[in-house]
Structure 1
Amino acid sequence: MLSGSRVLVVEDEALTAEEIRQLLIEAEGVPVGPVASLGEARRLLKEGTPVDAALLDVNLTDGQITPVLESLSARGVPTLVYTGGSLPEGVRERHPDLVALSKPVAPARLIGELRRLLNGTAVAH
């Protein structure tokens, strides 16, 4: 399914983060994290932690995910937003192809979207 792809998970709800981690493992992916804060995510990227894709919640305890999204975009890392809220203003304009799913999402859909992103066939939602 995800064939060993390293997926950065940024999610501040512990239960949701663990569910996503388990889901990635079951789909043969390698979870990076999960990390619960903007600061932790930025640190991982600054340290050069390799990631093939990212799954991001938008609203974290220490701010919105926008700086991490921008950093990932600059690196060409395919990113899936998975949020209970809405995208910050301007994000859709800067990232028209960004796939954004609203919580809750069926596990099969989440993995399917990640697989499409990794294969370069995702469609904007």
Structure 2
Amino acid sequence: MLIVEDEPLVALDLADLVEHQGGNVVGPVHTVREGLALADSNDAAGAILDANLEDSDVTQLALALIEKGTPFVIYTGTGLPDAPARLHPDLPVVMKPAQTRVVLDALDQRIEMDNKVR
């Protein structure tokens, strides 16, 4: 599971829950640039992305993951940036603050939906 989140405590909480559920964590990292590098070099089953990261909003990374076919959920306090919201209005968004379990449940649902489509 790729985690791209710039709030360290949130990132660690997400990573702990993923590992507790038996998943493997890629990251966490806190920039789009780092997220793109990890997405290119790993075949993560899914991803949890913050919408606004240290170096920019998540648009470039979200579009790259869509192209790669990696399901993800946006976990944010502000909502989707304009470009992904316009191009992919069905992207799953969990608004902060929410329990990490809610975020993982949303991602699990997205992965299930993507598997049914394939």
State yes or no: 1:102 paired with 2:95. yes
Instruction: Give the Cα separation in 1 of the matches to 2:55 and 2:101.
Output: 30
List gaps (5 residues or longer) in structure 1: 1-6
State yes or no: 1:112 paired with 2:105. yes
Q: Corresponding residue for 1:65?
A: 58
Instruction: Give the Cα separation in 1 of the matches to 2:77 and 2:12.
Output: 17
Residues 52-91 of structure 1 mapped to structure 2, 5 A cutoff: 52-91=45-84
| Conservation of the 8 A alpha-carbon contact between 1:38 and 1:64 | yes
- Deviations 1:87-111 (Å, cap 9, x if unpaired)? 1113222112200111111233222
Aligned residues with identical type, % of pairs: 32
| Count of residue correspondences | 114
Q: Which one has the bigger helix percentage?
A: 2
List gaps (5 residues or longer) in structure 2: none
CA root-mean-square deviation: 1.4
| TM-score (normalised: structure 2) | 0.89
Q: Which amino acid aligns with 2:106?
A: E
Residues 2-17 of structure 1 mapped to structure 2, 5 A cutoff: 7-17=1-11
Q: Flag as ranges the 4+ runs of structure 1 deviating above 3 A.
A: none
Instruction: Give the Cα separation in 2 of the matches to 1:110 and 1:89.
Output: 21
